[in-house]
Amino acid sequence: MNYAYIDIDLSTEELSEIFRPYSFEERLEKLYDYFDIEDILVTSSFGTKSVFLLHLLSKVNPDQKIHFIDTTYHFPETITYKNQLIKQLGLNVVDVFPQINENALTREENWWIAHPKMCCTINKIGPLEPIVAKHKVWIAGLMSFQTAFRSHLDIFTQQGDIIKFHPFIDIDEGEFLYHLSYHNLPKHPLEALGFGSIGCTHCTEKGEGRSGRWASTGKTECGLHPNYFLRNKT
């Protein structure tokens, strides 16, 4: 599938205003008018909300690479769900792994207890940094109703050297749930057991929404979205 894209220089504010009138699926389609597929980064945790973006991308551009950060701490059910969606949706998934020795150290010393931020840095942020550097825009399936941080995001935001694209940021929860039901999209197997959001085994508990992530720590994000890529250009 070939896409011709518009080679123009627009601010994130201008891009947001251009994309605002469109539906979430139209926004994804339109992104390929502005950016080449090789410049677009997609990551997925294959969690409870991931199938929404993955389903739409499989329709809009099935050639798009989906990067999965395998921290080595995922639930077995997450890996099973990932393989199910790859087969069902025909996804082009690329596995990304942390550095072996550093990952082993986090395991030996249980860093998710004493150093949860550093554990995320080693197993999630670090492995993705060189990949982020090769792209211009990063599609993120964040929705404003999920957390206070996400409620303040716009359709496009600048994060250091990369633009973050949030095509679903202004969708309401009812519309999101309707889409899943209408298309009969498979749910993560742990969702039926009370897990509203799913990450690594040691830092995920049962709970509504994202309340089960890093419970009682004050931490709500792994760092991929709010902080770690806020580098200034030199």
Taking the C-alpha atoms of residue 165 and residue 226, their distance in angstroms, rounded to an integer, is 13
Q: Residues 130-174: pLDDT tens digits? A: 999 999 999 988 876 665 556 568 899 998 889 999 998 888 888
Does 209 score more than 80 pLDDT? no
Residue predicted with more confidence, 119 or 227: 119
Quote the pLDDT of residue 203: 83
Q: Which domains does the chain have, with CATH numbers?
A: 12-203 (3.40.50.620)
pLDDT confidence of residue 230: 47
pLDDT (average), residues 201-214 = 69
Distance from the Cα of residue 188 to its chain's centroid: 15
pLDDT given for residue 93 in this prediction: 97
Q: What is the pLDDT of residue 153?
A: 83
Is 222 an active-site residue? Answer: yes
Average pLDDT, the chain: 84
Find the mean pLDDT for residues 22-30: 93
Residue of 9 and 219 predicted with greater confidence: 9
Catalytic member of 119, 120, 200, 222: 222
